[in-house]
Chain A
């Protein structure tokens, strides 16, 4: 199990970068607090339920993962430029072991990020229920989508470019096409179709269904997310393998 050693190295790299780690955990919390404050200022007559804590929390946990994407892309893009990676390329490690080695330590970080968000949401009025655990479980394939997307971009782009793509473009995409900030059905047309073709809206819907106990609605939303997770992970391995050979 050679990938375990590489996984362990990446875990240490993440934990020993406390600034990024804390920012990763704190980023969704700040958003949650800010939007809850905005929500409390909206009069009830407006009948605006989008930012109610039970809808906002799953949305923010999903949106927070765009930071995990940025983190994973930066980690791999930075590594690719080092002689340390060159040394590892001459070792028996294979492309899939590299990708697994990057994914495994980021997965608990993503779920921890969601958990911290949920704990803060309890103080803001979110009902404590077993459905919270279900939402965290639903967030696992969602996290894989964001992590593998980051790894894919980090393999293709350099450190500077990936900051722009993952930091700005992906964050905006996952905001606009996710039903977190507004209902994409309200815009309709191609916008709604595009949103439905991407995984973000399904991810948020699945997390919301989990937290609100709409169990039968979870799988239809989660399946496209799982499909994206598998495709993106395989694509990340293939592209990393091609990059290793091109480097050769």
Chain B
């Protein structure tokens, strides 16, 4: 069974088509990168797959559960780290983690122990009792990913996880993301090509609401006939034109 399988997944807003006939197959345990320029349809795709918006037509199954007809089951198996800092700002890092665990039905005791485990795993001891609004960009992104993982999701969505971070913070977060490889299915949207190349098993390229190409970084370079990934990306998003 695929972790994610979409069939002609489409989202239209009045006249505008945000995502058109997306057919996607992502394997369990795979780290899949969704690349594209602004307005390509990456975030809309992610919002449909995480049940935040309903598709206009087509469907997607997450481990066999339809995002249209089995939304409650989908919600139980996914975790999301949205683009912006999605934490309760007046709560400490630890309180945010415990909150998310309890929202997913874990008891207070289990929530505490799971929070401790993630605090250690993501090296957050230094700021675990600091309010989210007082955390740095890198710290809050680390917290955001930990919050998404606390419910033990089978599929994790990371929307621009390192956007706006400095090089050191970005690499530090890459290390954490890399550790997830093979353990759960990860769908990562990013603007940073080097991020997708460094982290992802396979990469899908979207442009103008459509799915243009997919494969490993090397396969995409070969497919485009270019020498490097950046040129390949430009060519593939432009439909073969550099």
B-binding residues in A (CB < 8 A): 2, 4-6, 8-9, 12-13, 16-17, 82-84, 86-93, 245, 247-248
A-binding residues in B (CB < 8 A): 50-54, 72, 75-76, 78, 80, 82-91, 95, 98-100, 102-105, 111, 131, 147-148, 151
Q: Which residues of B contact A8 (CB under 8 A)?
A: 99, 102
- Alpha-carbon gap, A248 to B46, bound state (A): 12
Q: Which residues of A contact B111 (CB under 8 A)?
A: 5
Q: Which residues of B contact A82 (CB under 8 A)?
A: 84, 86
- Given A82-B86, A91-B75, list of 13 further CB < 8 A pairs? A2-B104, A2-B105, A5-B99, A6-B99, A9-B99, A84-B87, A87-B147, A90-B50, A90-B51, A90-B52, A90-B80, A91-B103, A248-B51
Q: Which residues of B contact A93 (CB under 8 A)?
A: 103
Q: Which residues of A contact B50 (CB under 8 A)?
A: 90
Shortest Cβ gap from B167 to chain A (Å):
24
**Identity of the chain B residue whose Cβ is nearest the Cβ of A79 in the assembled complex:** B88
Query: Contacting B103 at CB < 8 Å: which of A2, A13, A16?
Result: A2
Q: Which residues of A contact B89 (CB under 8 A)?
A: 84
- Alpha-carbon gap, A16 to B102, bound state (A): 21
Contact A83 B86 (CB under 8 A): yes
Main SS class of interface, A: helix
Q: Which residues of A contact B54 (CB under 8 A)?
A: 245, 248
- Alpha-carbon gap, A84 to B143, bound state (A): 12
Contact A248 B53 (CB under 8 A): yes
Q: Which residues of B contact A2 (CB under 8 A)?
A: 102-105
* A2-B102, A5-B102, A87-B147 known; A248+B52 contact, CB < 8 A: yes
* A90-B50, A90-B52 known; A4+B102 contact, CB < 8 A: yes
Q: Which residues of A contact B91 (CB under 8 A)?
A: 9, 12-13
Q: What 5 A-B pairs come out closest when comparing CB atoms?
A: A5-B102, A83-B86, A83-B82, A83-B84, A87-B86
Shortest Cβ gap from B203 to chain A (Å):
24
Query: Contacting A13 at CB < 8 Å: which of B72, B88, B98, B104?
Result: B88
Q: Which residues of B contact A91 (CB under 8 A)?
A: 75, 100, 103-104, 151
Shortest Cβ gap from B10 to chain A (Å):
15
**Identity of the chain B residue whose Cβ is nearest the Cβ of A6 in the assembled complex:** B103
- Alpha-carbon gap, A153 to B156, bound state (A): 34
Q: Which residues of B contact A13 (CB under 8 A)?
A: 88, 90-91
Q: Which residues of A contact B100 (CB under 8 A)?
A: 87, 91
Q: Which residues of A contact B76 (CB under 8 A)?
A: 92
Q: Which residues of A contact B84 (CB under 8 A)?
A: 82-83
Q: Which residues of B contact A247 (CB under 8 A)?
A: 52-53
Contact A92 B86 (CB under 8 A): no
CB<8 Å pairs between A and B, sample of 6: A2-B105, A9-B88, A89-B52, A92-B76, A92-B105, A247-B53
- Alpha-carbon gap, A87 to B51, bound state (A): 11
Most A CB contacts (10 A, CB to CB) among B78, B95, B102, B151 go to B102
* A2-B103, A92-B76 known; A17+B90 contact, CB < 8 A: yes
Contact B52 A16 (CB under 8 A): no
- Alpha-carbon gap, A89 to B103, bound state (A): 11
Contact A83 B83 (CB under 8 A): yes
- Alpha-carbon gap, A128 to B85, bound state (A): 51
- Alpha-carbon gap, A83 to B148, bound state (A): 13
Shortest Cβ gap from A91 to chain B (Å):
5
- Alpha-carbon gap, A57 to B86, bound state (A): 43
Shortest Cβ gap from A205 to chain B (Å):
38
Q: Which residues of A contact B98 (CB under 8 A)?
A: 5
